[in-house]
């Protein structure tokens, strides 16, 4: 009896699992070379480039690409105070694996306290405004601070991920911060990402093995069922076109 059949027969939903890929090693290497070239192109144009990593699948591809290509790009992560323990531990794992330093960008205690005073600790469940306020305090303000002085920054966004990203370009202007923004995986598929990670033996976030295709803060992220949209577990109580925290919305 298959694992899926067993889970169904026991009344448990079948969760998302890492997709299979038909890419050959040669095709994966070709995609890797394109990624490395994109990263080198970016650093050739900008003196100070930074990468915001969530430690999830796409960002691990970019991290591996930065290290393998030798591109001079500094790494940071948004330590929101509401992350899964697996995510916090993943920072150490990546630093040790690659011999790199990842800056932790924390929210200001006063901003978090102001949010809690107005909305409550988990008030983001109650309204879109509250959700935006929480992301603003825990993610957007720390991101702004982490990008002070930068000339460009990178993301792990892909067009396939969401309806809000369907026309995502390789290069764009971050209007809010008046710097260049790059999406080196903009044209990659989900299976491309996983083919690269597995072929290159890249560290994988433990929650990906538990039905989480997309990972954010713990109270705002859950596993998704097989066949669901890969971002269905992010802010699942909101409409599909509301599933952005504000980091990537113009």
Instruction: For 33-83, write each residue's pLDDT tens digit.
Output: 999 999 999 999 999 999 999 999 999 999 999 999 999 999 999 999 999
| pLDDT tens-place string over residues 216-242 | 999 999 999 999 988 889 988 886 655
Q: Which pLDDT score is estimated for 60? A: 98
Q: Give the model's pLDDT for residue 9.
A: 42
DSSP 14: P
Determine what percent of the chain is predicted with pLDDT higher than 70.
Answer: 91
15 found inside a domain: no
Give SS3 for 180. Answer: strand
- Give the strands of the sheet with 152-154, arranged side by side: 102-105, 73-78, 49-52, 152-154, 179-182, 171-174
- Residue 12, in any domain of the structure: no
* 6-10, 107-111, 129-133: least confident range: 6-10
Computed over every residue of the chain, the mean pLDDT equals: 91
* Residue 78: inside a domain: yes
Q: For residue 16, with 0-12 CB atoms within 10 Å meaning exposed, 13-18 middle and 19 or more buried, which class applies?
A: buried
**Does the residue 81 lie in any domain?**
yes
pLDDT of 143 > 80? The answer is yes
Please report which confidence band the pLDDT of residue 2 belongs to, taking 50, 70 and 90 as the band edges: very low
Q: Is residue 223 part of a domain?
A: yes
CA distance 79 to 27: 35
What range defines the domain where residue 150 resides? 24-242
**The token pair that represents 118 in the structure block:** 């107005």
pTM of the model: 0.90
Catalytic (active site) residue 245 = yes
Residue 122 placed within a domain: yes
5 domain-assigned: no
What CATH number does the domain containing 198 carry? Answer: 3.40.50.620
| 42 domain residue, yes or no | yes
Q: 170-216, pLDDT tens digit by residue?
A: 999 999 999 999 999 999 999 999 999 999 999 999 999 999 999 99
Q: How many domains does the chain have?
A: 1
The whole-angstrom distance between residue 182's C-alpha and the CA centroid of its chain comes to: 14
């Amino acid at each position: 009896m298959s694992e899926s059949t067993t889970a169904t027969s026991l009344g448990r939903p079948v969760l998302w699992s890492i997709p299979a890929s038909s890419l050959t090693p040669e095709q994966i290497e070709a995609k890797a070379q394109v990624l490395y070239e994109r990263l080198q192109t970016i650093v050739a144009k900008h003196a100070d480039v930074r990468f915001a990593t969530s430690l999830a699948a796409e960002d691990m591809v970019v991290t591996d690409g930065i290290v393998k290509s030798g591109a001079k790009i500094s790494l940071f992560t948004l330590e929101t105070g509401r992350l899964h323990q697996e995510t916090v531990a993943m920072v150490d794992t990546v630093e040790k694996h690659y011999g790199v330093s990842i800056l932790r960008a924390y929210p200001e205690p006063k901003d978090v306290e102001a949010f809690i005073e107005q909305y409550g600790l988990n008030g983001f469940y109650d309204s879109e405004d509250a959700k935006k306020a929480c992301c603003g305090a825990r993610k957007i303000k720390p991101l702004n601070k982490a990008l002070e002085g930068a000339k460009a920054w990178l993301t792990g966004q892909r067009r396939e991920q969401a309806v809000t990203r369907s026309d995502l370009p390789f290069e764009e202007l971050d209007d809010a911060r008046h710097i260049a923004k790059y999406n080196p995986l903009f044209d990659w598929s989900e299976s491309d990402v996983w083919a690269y990670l597995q072929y290159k033996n890249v560290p994988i976030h433990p929650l990906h093995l538990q039905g989480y295709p997309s990972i954010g803060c713990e109270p705002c992220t859950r596993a998704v069922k097989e066949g669901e949209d890969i971002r269905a577990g992010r802010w699942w109580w909101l409409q599909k076109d509301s599933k952005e925290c504000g980091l990537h919305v113009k």
